Structure 1
Amino acid sequence: MNVLTRVSGLMTNAPFMLNVDCDMVVNNPKIVQHAMCILMDPKKGKEVAFVQCFQQFYDGIKDDPFGNQWVSAFEYIIRGMAGLQGPYYAGTNTFHRRNAIYGLHPDEMENERKGKISMQQFGSSKEFFKSATGALEGSAYSSKQISPSNFIEEAIQVADCAYENDTSWGKQLGWVYGSISEDVPSGLNMQRKGWRSEGCTPDPIPFTGCAPGSLIPTMIQQKRWTSGLTVVFFSKHSPVMCSLFGKVQFRSGLSYCWLTNWGLRSVFEVIYAVLPVYCIITNTNFLPKGLGLWIHVAVAVIYYIHTLIEYLAIGLSVQHWWNNQRMSIIRTGTASLIGFLSAMLKLSGISDTVFEITQKEQPTSSSNDEVDPGRFTFDKSPVFVVGTIILMLQLTALFINFMGLQPPPASGNSGNGSGLGELICSTYLVLCYWPFLKGLFATGKYGIPLSSIFMSAGTVFFFLVCVNL
C-alpha cells in the first residue's frame, strides 16, 4: 500500500485517494460524490482522515453458513463506532485524505508546514519530495515535465521495495508496518493524532466483493486477521496506548479493544470449552445448582434472544443467526487460537508470521461435486485438529456421564458432583461443532483427514490420563 501511495502521489498529487481491494467492484457510481461531500464539508470535513464504506458481498451463500459475510457486525458494531470517533479502517472501500497519510495532524491543516519535513523522511526522489511538499503545504505541484510518461523512471524508483529504507515510510508516513493487519493500526494511528473517520452507506451500496466460498479459506482469513490484530493489541499502536497518550476517545478505544482482542478471547473460550469436560469426568462442578444455575441460563437465553431480534430486524433469517452463532464459537476456538499463538511467537521473537492469501474462487454451478456449497470442507490444517479435539472432548465427557463411569464426589456428598449446567455446556458445544462430527464420518474433502483424527484422539487420550493421575 505504501508503494501505491508513493506512486500515486508522484503521478497525480491529488488531495484524496481511493483504496479498493482487487476483489471489490464499484456498485454505486456516485460514491465519489458522496465521499467528497464528507471530506470537503466546510465545517467538519477537515477533521476527517478517511471515509470508510462497509464491505458487502454480491456472491454470499444463502444464510451465511461460514459466518464470513459480517452483515450484522457492520450494521451494529461498525455503525456504532461511526457514532463515536468513526469506524476503523477496514483495508478497502476507503477514501483517504492524502495529508493524513503523509503524517499531518488535523490542527496543522491551516498551518505552514514548510521546513518541517525533510527529504530523508520521504526518500531520495526529488520529484516525489516536491509533490509531497506541495500536498502538505496545500499548494499546487507543478513541474516542467507535464506528461505522466516523463515520470516513469521516477515511478520505478519510488516503487522499489528498497526505496523506503532509512525513511519514515511504515512509521510516521503511510500504512503502519509491524502487523499483517496493517489497516487497523494505520487508521488507529490517524485517530491518535486527532483525526476522525466517517462511515458512508448510500443506497445502492457503494462497493461489493466476493467472500470466501468455503470453510478452509474462511479459517485462513480468520487466522490471519487474529494474528495481526493480536500483534496490534500488544504493540505501541494498541488502543490502550492510543487512548492514554493520544487523542483516541475512551469509548472509541473500547471498541478498538473489542476488535483487537479476538485472539486473547480465544484462550478463555477454549478454557471454558475444556472446563465442563474436566468437571464431568472428575464429577465436580464449576456452575451452581438449583436456582443459581437458572440465573445463568436466563442470562444466556436473554443474550441469544437479543441477538436474534437484531438479526431479524435487518431482514436476516433464523438460520443465518444460528450459523453466525455457531461459527463464532468455532472460529474463536480454532482459527483465532492458532492466530493468537502465531502472534505470541512473533512477539517473543521466535518466528515471524507468514501472510497467507485467502482464496476466494467460487464453486461453479456445473460441478457435480458442489451440490451443497454450504457444506464444510476440511484439510490437514492445525485449525481443524483443534476443533476436532474440542469435539472429541465433549463427546467423551457425555459418554462417561451417560455410562455412569464418573467417580464418586470427592467429599462423599453427591450434591457436589457435576450437574445439569456442565451437561448443557458440553451438549451446546457438540451442536456448534456438529459439522465436525459429520466430518468424522465423511470422506474426501468433506471428511476430516485421518492424520488429524489420530492426532486429536491422541491428545484426548493424553488429557484423560492427566485428569486421572
Structure 2
Amino acid sequence: MGEQARVSGVMTNAPLMLNVDCDMYANNPQVFLHAMCMVFGFKNEEVCAFIQFPQAFYDGLKDDPFGTQMAHFFYMGNGVSSIQGPFYAGSNCFHRRKVIYGSSLNDAVRTGNTDHQNLHKSFGKSIEMRESATEALSGSNAKIENPRIPSSFIEAAIQVAGCSYEYGTSWGKQIGWMYGSTTEDILTGLSLHGRGWKSVFCALEPPPFLGCSPVTYPVALTQQKRWATGLLEALFTNKNPLLLTLNGNLWFRQGLAYMWICLWAIRSVPEICYAVLPAYCIITNSRFLPKISESAFLIPMGIFVIYTLYGIWEVNRLGISLRMWWNIQRMGRVNAMTAWLFACPIVLIKLLGLSQTVFEVTRKEESLFNGDDNDDANAGRFTYDKSPMIIPGVVILLVNLTALVSGVSGLVNVGSRENRKTIFGLGEVFCSVFVSLCFWQFLKGLFGNGKYGIPSSTIWKSGGLALLFVQLCRRSSQWF
C-alpha cells in the first residue's frame, strides 16, 4: 500500500487518490463526480481527508451464510459519520493526496531550504517525489513550466516503488499508508483522524463499487482472524485511540468507536464465558438468571425482545431478509469465539518478540458454484479443514448439548426428592439452546461427509476438552 501512494505522487499531481482493492471495480461511473463534490463542493472542504464508499458484492452467496458481505456496514458508517467520520475500510475510498503525504489540519505552507531538507528525509531521495510532495503540501495550483507527460516518469516510478526506497524515510510511519498492523486501513484511518481530519461516508445507487467476498467457510475464517489480529495490533502502536485522544486531535467519541472495533479479539473472552455460563448452570444445577415466576425475569427478557425487534426494524429499513439478519447475528457469535480468539495469542507472541504476524491474503474466487446443479445446491454449505480455529466452536457446541441432555434427564428423573429438585430455570435452558442454534452448522458438520464434515481429529480433540470442562463443572459443584 505504501508503494501505491509513492507511485501516485510521482505519476500525477491530482489532488485526489482512489484506493480500490484488486478484486473490486467501479460500478457507478458517477462515483468520481460525487467524490469531487464531497471534497471541493462544501465550505469545510479543508477538513475532509477522505471519502469512504460502502462495499458491495456482485457474487455474494444468498443470505450471506458466512457473514462476510457486511450488509450492516451502512449503519456503522452512518453511525460514526456524525462524529469525525467513518473508518477507512481499505478500499472504495478517495484520499486527499496532501493528507496521505502527512499534512495535518491547519498546516502552514512549507517553503524554504529547511523544508526541502525535511522533505528529503521524509520522502526519500527521488527529486520527482520531493517536487510532487512540495506541490501537494503547499496546495499550489501554479502552472507548471515545461510539463512532462506521465510516461516520462516511468523510471522514477520504478525507483520510488522499490521496497528499499523507504528505508530511512517517513513512509509507513508518518506519511502514506501506516505500517505495523495487518489491517493497515484502520491504522491509516486512525492516523488521519488523530491529526484532526474528518471523513465522509457516501452511499449511492447503484452501488459505487462491487467486489467478491469469500465463498467458503475456511477462507472467511482466515479473513476474520486477520482482521481481528490487525485491529488488536493497532492498540499496541503509537496510533492507539486512547493516546490519540489524549495527545492528538482524535475526538473522544471517535476514540470510543475505534476502541470498540479494535477490541474485537479481546471480546472473544467474554463471549466464550457467556456461551458456557448457561451450560455450567445446568450441569451444576445453579442459575444466573431470575426464575420465570419472579418479576425480575422481565428485565432480561425485555432487553432480549427489544434488541431483537430493533434489529428486525433495522434490517427492514435496509431491505435485508430475516434469514440474512439471523446469519449476521449467529456468525457474529461464531467468529468471536473462533477466529477472533486466535488473534489474541498471535498478537501476544508478537509482543513477546517470538514471532511476527503474517499477512494472509484472502482467496476470493468469483464463484465456486456455477455450471453444476449439485454444486449450486451446496452453495453456502459450511466446509471444514483441520484448522485449530474450529475447535473452540465444536467444544462450545458439545458442552451446551451435554448440558441440555443432562438437564432433560434430570427433569425426567423420578428418583429421590433431591434429584427431583431443580434450581436452574427456563432462562438458562433458553440461553443454552440459543448458543446451540448459533453453532447449528457445526452440529451438521459432526455428521457430514467429505469436505462438509468436521475432521475426526478435530472432533476427538474437541470432545476431550468438552469432557474435561463438564467434569470440572461437576467437581466445582461439590467444592462449593
Judge same fold: TM > 0.5, yes or no: yes
1:331-355 Cα offsets, whole Å, 9 max, x none, are: 1111111123322322333322221
- Are the equivalent residues in 2 in contact too, given 1:212–1:359 (CA < 8 A)? yes
Give the alignment's TM-score, normalised by structure 2: 0.91
Point out 4+ residue stretches in structure 1 off by more than 6 angstroms. 412-416
Q: Which residue does the alignment assign to 1:418?
A: 424
Q: Which residue does the alignment assign to 1:88?
A: 87
- Are the equivalent residues in 1 in contact too, given 2:281–2:428 (CA < 8 A)? yes
Q: Which runs of 5+ in 1 are unaligned?
A: none
What are the within-5 Å matches in structure 2 for residues 28-427 of structure 1? Answer: 28-41=28-41, 43-72=43-72, 74-108=73-107, 111-114=109-112, 115-116=114-115, 117-139=118-140, 140=142, 142=144, 146-289=148-291, 290-361=294-365, 362-367=367-372, 368-404=374-410, 417-427=423-433
- 1:261 and 1:21 mapped to 2: Cα distance? 25
User: Over the residues paired in the alignment, what is the CA RMSD in angstroms?
Assistant: 2.2
- Are the equivalent residues in 2 in contact too, given 1:231–1:347 (CA < 8 A)? no
- 1:431 and 1:413 mapped to 2: Cα distance? 28
The range that moved more, 147-156 or 439-448, is: 147-156
The range that moved more, 177-186 or 251-260, is: 251-260
The range that moved more, 231-240 or 202-211, is: 231-240
Report the AA paired with residue 91 of structure 1.
Answer: G
| 2:446 is aligned with 1:440 | yes
- Are the equivalent residues in 2 in contact too, given 1:185–1:232 (CA < 8 A)? yes
1:132-156 Cα offsets, whole Å, 9 max, x none, are: 1222122359586824343332222
Report the AA paired with residue 88 of structure 2.
Answer: Y
The range that moved more, 283-292 or 421-430, is: 283-292
The range that moved more, 124-133 or 142-151, is: 142-151
TM-superposed CA distance for 1:415, in Å, is 7.5
- 1:364 and 1:437 mapped to 2: Cα distance? 23
- 1:413 and 1:252 mapped to 2: Cα distance? 54
> Secondary structure of 2:18's match?
strand
> Secondary structure of 1:365's match?
coil
- 1:299 and 1:399 mapped to 2: Cα distance? 28
Q: Which runs of 5+ in 2 are unaligned?
A: 476-480
Report the AA paired with residue 134 of structure 1.
Answer: E
1:304-324 Cα offsets, whole Å, 9 max, x none, are: 111011111221111111111
- 1:389 and 1:120 mapped to 2: Cα distance? 54
Alpha carbons of structure 1 residues 406 and 357: separation in structure 2 relative to 1, 3 Å = farther
* Residue correspondences, number: 463
- Are the equivalent residues in 1 in contact too, given 2:27–2:206 (CA < 8 A)? yes
- 1:293 and 1:344 mapped to 2: Cα distance? 40
- Are the equivalent residues in 1 in contact too, given 2:228–2:340 (CA < 8 A)? yes
Report the AA paired with residue 331 of structure 1.
Answer: N
- Are the equivalent residues in 2 in contact too, given 1:19–1:91 (CA < 8 A)? yes
Alpha carbons of structure 1 residues 112 and 220: separation in structure 2 relative to 1, 3 Å = same
